[in-house]
Structure 1
């Protein structure tokens, strides 16, 4: 198998860290559409839940920690300190970096939890059925915005889908109605 480097993208986080994303193309790629056997498949159903993250058809005891809610107080304190700094001063930029690090930590904690959960499910189940709901519309509702964004159900579906596809397994999106 041969890989060809297509592009390199370098990006900088607000905290000052740099990341390089490499895009490779696999040349000897065979796209085989195999028929999936549902008879002997181990199936899991996932339904979106406002509190927690989801309701599973099997007894899975993983609960979303609500990382933003847990760090909200510290983040608010750091943002308050930033608002008192003189814009353009060295202390302003130092404090701005601290706020960015708080946001980065929350994002990394959430991402770690979602990767671990989606990995476990992709390993254990052959078919996963998920509720197909519009997360963007739900997050714009004035009652649920923060909870829906902290929940990360949409990101969880994306991670689960690509991990199942890698293993030759299937993700089924079920209409919410």
Structure 2
């Protein structure tokens, strides 16, 4: 059956209305619109600012997440957050972010995470096929590496790196685990 020009216009109009309705629904429905503003610490003290931020995550994340404690108990989550708060003075900013990321990963929800990437990003993208890691994309400067297998980084085997990155990788399912591990390889220290 061939549609006439008028039929195509009607189908296109209905499709536009459906998409518009979905966009409006998503923006009006609270489940999809859960942006929360972080408190601005008036203290110039680094430690107090970090404590305030982590307390904010500790109290607000359970309110905003649909089911934060499906895998980890609320008391374990609170104990981990309190432990991190108690060690802020001992940690650098990067260590605080890393420790917070570890706590959040233990929730086992790959959609809830802490971005620890920072500014050191290799211009190469990796992907895991089977048990091996390959360069799946790179800037033109690194085109000779496209499709090449990654066997080590700075003398560390892939298994050693996997072990070190494991606390930062969500365990939702195998696909998420493979994807997150491959993405984290882009942020390894160059030293």
TM-score, structure 2 as length reference: 0.21
Kindly indicate which of the two structures has a greater share of residues assigned to strand.
Answer: 1
TM-score, structure 1 as length reference: 0.22
* Structure having greater relative contact order (Cα 8 Å, sep ≥ 6): 1
